[in-house]
Structure formats: C-alpha cells, structure tokens
Amino acid sequence: MARFAGYADRDVIEQEMPWQARDVPQTMHRYMASVASRHGARPAVTFQLLSGPKAPAETLTWAQFHQQTTQAANLFRALGVGPSDVVAYLLPNCLEAAVTLIGGTIAGIANPINPLLDAEQIAAILRETGAKVLVTLKAFPKTDVPQKAARAVALAPNVKTVLEVDLNRYLTPPKSWIVPFLRPKVSVAHSARVLDFAKELAKRPTTLAFDDPEVDRVAAYFHTGGTTGMPKVAQHKVSGMVYNGWLGHRLLFTEQDNVICPLPLFHVFACHVILMAMISSGAHVVFPTPQGYRGDGVFDNFWKLIERWKITFVITVPTAISALMQRPVNADVSSIKTAFSGSSPLPIELYRRFEKATGVTIVEGYGLTEATCLVSINPIDGIKKIGSVGIPFPYCEVKILRKTPEGVQECETDTVGEICVANPGVFAGSTYTETDKNHDLFHRDIYLRTGDLGRMDGDGYLWITGRAKDLIIRGGHNIDPAEIEEALAGHEAVAMVGAIGQPDAFAGELPCAYVELVAGSDCTVETLMEHARQNVRERAAQPKYIEIIPEMPKTAVGKVFKPDLRRRAISRVYDDALKAAGVGARVAEVVEDKKRGLVARIARGDAREDDTVGHVLGEFTNAWEWAD
C-alpha cells in the first residue's frame, strides 16, 4: 500500500483509483457486505468494559458484525424507521453503539448524541431530528445516562420506542450478580414503549428484509460541538461517510492492523474516520471502557493494552497524550507504527516528549463535523511539518479566502484568511438540518466556510492560526462563549462581559471571562464565580478564571474586542507558568503575527534558563519567541 507522502503521491492516487470507483459500495449495507465477504473470520470490533490488561473482552468478527448490523436495520425498520426517519442513540462506547450506528444508517438516519449533554439539550436534538427510536442504557451503577434519557424522551414526544442496552452482560460473576441489586431507579415517566435491545435484536433475520436501493442519501445526523447551547445538527450522506472510510483504507490501514480508539462513538472522529476506515480496510478496532480515555484506569493501563492487542495505530487527542506522558511506558509498544492526533492543536513540546518516550511519531490531522470529517493530514511517510495540519487529502480542495472591498478573494501563500473546504464529505448547501443555519455558510455554493483561520505555505501545508468563530475548544469539546456571557450578564453588577479560551497545557483551552462592573459596584470575583456555577449549566463550560477589569476593550461600534482579552490571558497564563518553573523570564508583549496568529514575546531572565523556558512554553499551543 503506497503511503501518502506528498502532492506527488496525492496526484497518483487520484489518477489510479477514484474513490467513486465501482468497487466502492454506495449503500451502507453493501459496504458491510463487502468487508464481510473479504475478511469475515477476522476480528472487527472489540470492547472491554473494564480497563485491565487481562479484563474480559468481547470481539465481533466481520461476519458477526455484518449480521448484527443487518439485524439492527431490520429491527429499526420494523419499528417504523424508513429511509428518512431517525434512530438516535445515547450510549457510551460498547459493541451495541457500533451496531446501532451502522444499523441505523442502513435502515434510515443514525443520530449519535453526546451523553454529557443535559436532558434539555438531548431533548432538543431529538425534537430537531424527529427521532422515532432512541437506543440508550438500561439503569446501571455509576452512570446517569438512563435518567437523562428518560427526562429527554419525556420532552420529545416524537420518540415512540426506547431500546435499552444492558452493560451487565459484559460482566462476569460475582460482579454480574451484584449489579441488579445496585441498579438506580429511573423515576421519570414518558409515553414511549421500552424494549430490551438484545432480545429484540435476536428476533430479527440476519439477511436484509427490505429493499436497499443504491441511492446516495443522508444517513447520519451529528450535532456539532457539544457542551453548551443548542448544538446545530449536521447532515452526512453515505458518499461522505464512505469517502472518509476510503481515505483511511487507502492511506493508513490494512486488514493486518489493530487500532485502539478510546474516543467516543458519538463523535465523527471515532465514527467516520475510524469505524468507516475499519469497514473499508478490514482492520480491527479496540474500544477500551464505555468512557474511553475518561474510563477508570485507562491511562494507567494504556501501554499494557497496546501490548495485549498488538496495536499498530493509536488514535488520540492532545489531552490524552498529555496524560499518558505523566505515566511510564511500562509495556512492549514496539507494534505501534503511528499515532494519529486530532480534535485540537498539539503543542510542539508534547509532540517531542511522546516521540522520545515511545519512539512513535504522531501525525496531526484536521477535520470538522460539517465536512463529515477529514480535510488534511501530515504525510505518514513524507515530510511532517510540526504545528501544521498537513496537506489536503485526495479529492479535497482547500481555499484560504478573505473579504475585501472588492469582494471575497483567495489569499496568497502564507497569508491568513478563512479556511474553506470542498470535498465529497461536504454536503454543499444543506450542511445543517435547519435551513437558516446554512445562510452564508458556503462560498460560491461549493466551499464550506469552516470558521477557522489559517494559511497555506509554499509547499501546500495548512496551518491553523485561529478561529473566525469565538468557540472555546476544551480538550476537543466546543464551548460557545455566548452561554458564559449570557449567564454572567444576568448578574445585576455586570455591565459587560467577554468570555474566551485561555491557554492550558493539558486541555488546550479553558473557559475564562473578563467582566466590567456597573459604576459603583463592589461585587467580587468570588461572587461572580458562584453565580457562574449556578447559571452555566454544563460543568465543562463553567469559567475557570474570572477577572474584573476597569473597562472592557471595545471595537468602534462598542462590541467587546476579544483579541485584547486573549492577549491578557496569554500573558497571565504564561507568566504564571514561568514563575512556577522558577525562571526569571516573563511575557514582554503579545503581538499579532500574520502567519502564526497571537505570539507571546518573552523577555529573558537568565540565559542559562532558556531550555527551561522552551520546555515550559512548549506545553502550550500558542506560539512564542524571544523579545530580544
């Protein structure tokens, strides 16, 4: 298999095997049938409930996975789900989540929902998509997902059937005997009928019981971002999902690969980049614990899980890499070929530490829910530019555009503008289910405006320098600052508020807020923090830092000027980190660089401390340089 080494290989790939070729099925059921016919006896998907390297695990072969997804499709169709109807699922990682995703796309439209959302947000998504069926958990210790699901269904009368998945089946005695006595009660009533997923699945035939016309249609709804506000719902067509899978097979995986993916099966990274690539290639994916990287003991046992499953590819994100680097590499990890990181920028120092500790190179990529996912990647065997997100994938066109008095123009090399994308994953004109959300979302009705700012260098590598949107990205989760601002603005002492993401060495960004008080107020930061805790619904969105300032920086029309707030935050966070490291260097200023965005200029203390300064500031994604 030729690896993606640069533009030369990219051109060859496009010429030799267009992804729309006849051997790439255009319905999800035929896609599954193809991999089952080629690799039926090989392992497809593995799940282990507990994180221990010897904990029980269950594996489906490709033949079994194909049979179960077919049964699921037949079940959903019997429950009234047609090609334009929706099967939602509110599940942690488990085999049933993967089966529901694929079965849902075969029968109708699958709609994964983030279990970390609150019940009202979940209900809003269920109503927006018109979901007829919800697959969720049966009451189980240490999770509130069933309670959330019940409250959400009570607020979404369009849901007619709830199918419950019992995680107890993954346990062995004596733990499996104890769970029935520890199940919490779900007291919220709703009108939907409740059925057992496993029992209903077993009743259905393993061959498709309905016609499967080869029509490219919407097969999945994925809500954007996640922890605050009403998420927008993006539409994904079969062609876009197959395209993402084809890329993974053509450029990364073969049936000999074992991939560990502790990322959630409600996110496009796990669903479209990984699971679809497994279907295309016949590779094997391992999902450890229901909560993935958040699961008990996953970080402590991670390297031993690598050894257990002979993992060749690690799927990760910067926050997980940071946590792993705080633990010794205590197992044989020589099977790993590559680690693939996405969701948020990777600090250079963290990249280097991982490579030194494991001998494994990290490849950074870029994608977004609105594009079904994949956009670009650093070449696997070619030149990697650390800090960039690589070169566009085959059949993906990226333009850097900016508005000028003469209209929208394409930027020259190394000039920052808005990243705009056209590829088979972009559903041009109809990205979101709500028509008004698609207004002004496309350039020339083709190129998706991502809201990210970036530049293309002379070699065709893409560099992300900031966001046209104000989203705060905390560990890959998108937080709308407007929710924080609205909550704080509701306090009688607050005149103006601006919420931004401040740099964080672990999460990439953390929410913080700057507040201007009404004249004469003596309100304190502690009072505002408590107000935020009470009024910002999601814990992840609650500001970690609030500062009262005499006057908010404003634009000419009186809006909060957030670049100045970001400069303040970078200076404060970097100075605190340098002080904690015991060095004398400090931030002299934060300047805007046309290629790198906001850059901290550092005044030296003692030149002998330069290496320490580089190590400390290399933990952050924002650029820095010496002031002298």
The amino acid sitting at 60 is L
Q: What are phi and psi of 259, to 5 degrees?
A: -115, 130
Residues 159-189 pLDDT 10s = 999 999 999 999 889 999 998 888 888 877 8
Q: What is the pTM (predicted TM-score) of this model?
A: 0.80
Q: What are phi and psi of 595, to 5 degrees?
A: -100, -35
* Cα dihedral 96, 99, 103, 104 sign: positive
Helices (H), 515-609: 525-535, 562-580
Kindly compute the dihedral angle of the four CA atoms of residues 377, 382, 386, 388, in this order, to the nearest 10 degrees.
Answer: -40
Residues 489-533 pLDDT 10s = 889 899 889 999 999 998 889 999 999 998 899 999 999 999 999
DSSP string, 591-628: EEETTTEEEEEEE-S-GGGHHHHHHHHTTSSSEEEE--
Bridge-based pairing state of the strands 623-626 and 597-603 = parallel
Calpha distance 221→438 (Å, rounded): 15
- Give the model's pLDDT for residue 496: 86
Calpha distance 251→499 (Å, rounded): 40
* Domains of the chain with CATH codes: 7-422 (3.40.50.12780), 472-626 (3.30.300.30)
Most confident option among 133-137, 174-178, 247-251, 558-562: 133-137
Residues 21-60 pLDDT 10s = 444 557 999 999 999 999 999 999 999 999 999 999 999 9
Are 311 and 259 within 8 A, CB to CB?
Answer: yes
Take residue 504 and report the two structure tokens written for it: 């964080």
Q: What are phi and psi of 512, to 5 degrees?
A: -140, 165
SS3 content of the chain, % helix, strand, coil (to 5): 35, 25, 40
* Cα dihedral 221, 264, 28, 393 sign: positive
Take residue 422 and report the two structure tokens written for it: 């056209």
Q: Which residues pair with 239 in a beta bridge?
A: none
Calpha distance 178→169 (Å, rounded): 12
Place of tokens 């300032």: 549
